Amino acid sequence: MSELLSGLTGPAESTGPLESVAWKIGVDVAGPVADEVDRESRFPREAVEELKRAGLLSALIPEQLGGGGATLAEVAGAVRALASHCTASALVLAMHSIEVSNLVRHGTSKPLQELQAEIASKQLLIANANSEVGIGGDVGRSICAVEPTDGGMTLEKQCLAISYGEHADAVVATARRAPDSEQTDQVQVICRRPDLTLEQTSDWDALGLRGTCSNGFRLVAKVDAGMIYPVPFATIASNGGIQASTILLSSAWVGLSEAAAAKAHEYVRAAARRSIGTIPPAAGHLAVLATELQQSRGLLATAANAFTAFEASPEMESPGFLASVRNVKVSTSELAVRITTGALSICGIAGFKRGTPFTLDRQIRDAHGSVVMVSNERYLRANAEMLLARKHL
């Protein structure tokens, strides 16, 4: 818990090793090129190389398979620390770690255990292609299907977005189990190079989160039966998948909020130094911002630690926990928009302009991406449906 709550913008001395490593990568590597990554809408390759060097891509994999044996809360701390410097780099770690978390929970077959060992030894990068043209973000349905062919099985999917797809070693995709299956009868398939081709169908010239390079693709893959999860996708999603996803994405929103709040804090302290003995007018706004940041951090810390506590418990799948993690994602993203724009009102023109130490350009644009990166409306709708059936909130 202390790891996720300490420090305004990053780890204090008492924080855990993963968060500190990620913070250092943020300071030394990701932060210095974050504006360039954003401007050119390019993959944050330097930061990802460092994540690999530090073994962060296999942090969640059990030690007996060569991984770091870390908890989700520890990785959430690392995502948060990195997001303070470059949200796009942090999202690469977050999205990859969502897939690894699912593999650790549900990749019980021999081939999927071997894949985990390979991710650890080679620091393979995993992307996701769950959303599909025609169904949007409703990932509980698929149009595409795993198709039998003469020599085996294939998958062809029109993917709405695959973040860093061109740079990934494997792409995880949902699909109907077979050509005659219902849209909700889904499996999840891990498509590996070289049996995978991605043909770009749309580009990623976005308002924010530009370094995620979330282009649309036509995915064509030869499917290896061993690379299909042994449980239905619905189980992967409800038993840890949605929970890990909402928590790890929220970590990025908390980290980017911290970056904006830190600028506002620094701005107010600089004003105070200029007129010793007076309280700068924006100090009151900063105090309000601090309450919002505390809410955001508290929500993340509670959810991340609950995930760890529920790892082997049926509580993981309980409607109450599912609703609460959706709430965390909705709240931390909306708070990110509030905190970044609140920081702007504190920093004024210095925050509005590009090229000043207080510029909030990137954080404000990225914060708006947090609301659509898995639609908040969709999550609220799911919770609204659940509340109709439940007797208590």
Ligand X SMILES: Cc1cc2nc3c(=O)[nH]c(=O)nc-3n(C[C@H](O)[C@H](O)[C@H](O)COP(=O)(O)OP(=O)(O)OC[C@H]3O[C@@H](n4cnc5c(N)ncnc54)[C@H](O)[C@@H]3O)c2cc1C
Does residue 241 bind ligand X (CB under 6 A)? no
Q: Which amino acid appears at position 2 of this protein?
A: S
> Which CB atom, from 42 or from 285, has the smaller least distance to ligand X?
42
User: Smallest distance from the beta carbon of 6 to ligand X, in angstroms?
Assistant: 28
Q: Is 374 in the site for ligand X (CB under 6 A)?
A: yes
Nearest CA-CA partner of 213 in 172, 171, 167, 163:
163
Cβ atoms 33, 41 nearer than 8 A: no
Q: Which of 10, 16, 3, 53 is nearest to 257 (CA)?
A: 10
Which residues is 145 bridged to in the sheet?
176
- Supply the minimum distance, in Å, between the C-beta of residue 326 and ligand X: 12
Complex with ligand X: residue 268 or 373, whichever CB lies closer: 373
Subset of 80-109 contacting ligand X (CB under 6 A): 95
Q: Contact between 128 and ligand X (CB under 6 A)?
A: yes
| Window of 39-47, 124-132, 284-292, 294-302 that interacts with ligand X by CB under 6 A | 124-132
Q: What angle do CA 34, 86, 72 make, to 5 degrees?
A: 155
Of 142, 163, 188, 251, the one binding ligand X (CB under 6 A) is 163
Which one of 87, 102, 131, 359 is in contact with ligand X (CB under 6 A)?
A: 131
Query: What is the Cα–Cα distance from 339 to 257, expressed in whole angstroms?
Result: 6
Give the residue with the Cβ less far from ligand X, 91 or 104.
91
Q: Is 369 in the site for ligand X (CB under 6 A)?
A: yes
> Does residue 162 bind ligand X (CB under 6 A)?
yes
Q: State the CB neighbour count (10 A cutoff) for residue 272.
A: 15
Q: Is the peptide bond before 194 cis (omega within 30 degrees of 0)?
A: yes
What does the per-residue mask of binding to ligand X show for 312-351, with x meaning CB under 6 A?
----------------------------------------
In the complex with ligand X, the residue whose CB is nearer, 227 or 373, is 373
Among residues 116 and 246, whose Cβ is nearest to ligand X?
246
Among 84, 212, 245, 246, which residue interacts with ligand X (rule: CB under 6 A)? 212
For residue 30, the 8-state DSSP code is I
Burial 159-196 (b: 16+ CB within 10 A, else e): bbbbbbbeebbbbbbbbbbeeeeeeebbbbbbbbeeeb
- Other beta carbons within 10 Å of 229: 22
CA dist., res. 170 & res. 58, Å (int): 14
Segment near ligand X (CB under 6 A); pick from 96-104, 130-138, 233-241, 268-276: 130-138
Q: Which residue, 225 or 384, is less far from ligand X as judged by CB?
A: 384
Contact 335, 370 (CB under 8 A): no
Tokens (6 digits) for 203:
């580009």
* CA distance readout (Å), 200 to 113, 175, 193: 31, 19, 16
Among candidate residues 73, 82, 71, 84, the one with its CA nearest the CA of residue 8: 84
Nearer to ligand X, 20 or 188 (CB): 188
Our CB check for ligand X shows the closer of 90 and 306 to be: 90
Q: Which of 21, 209, 259, 343 binds ligand X (CB under 6 A)?
A: 209
The CB-of-27 to ligand X minimum distance in angstroms stands at 24
Q: How far is the CB of 143 from ligand X (least distance, A)?
A: 13
Stretch that binds ligand X, among 147-155, 286-294, 314-322, 375-383 (CB under 6 A): 375-383
Closest CA to 373 of 47, 94, 44: 94
377 binds ligand X (CB under 6 A): yes
Among the listed residues 161, 223, 228, 347, the single contact to ligand X using CB under 6 A = 161
H-helix segments, the chain: 2-5, 17-25, 31-40, 45-53, 72-83, 87-106, 110-122, 233-236, 242-274, 283-309, 319-347, 349-352, 361-372, 376-389
Span of 2-10, 74-82, 122-130, 338-346 interacting with ligand X by CB under 6 A: 122-130
Q: Confirm or reject binding of residue 373 to ligand X (CB under 6 A).
A: yes
Give least dist CB 251 to ligand X, A.
Answer: 15
Q: Minimum distance from CB of 128 to ligand X (Å)?
A: 4
Q: Can you give the binding site for ligand X, defined by CB under 6 A?
A: 95, 127-131, 136-137, 160-163, 209, 212, 214, 369, 372-375, 377-378, 381
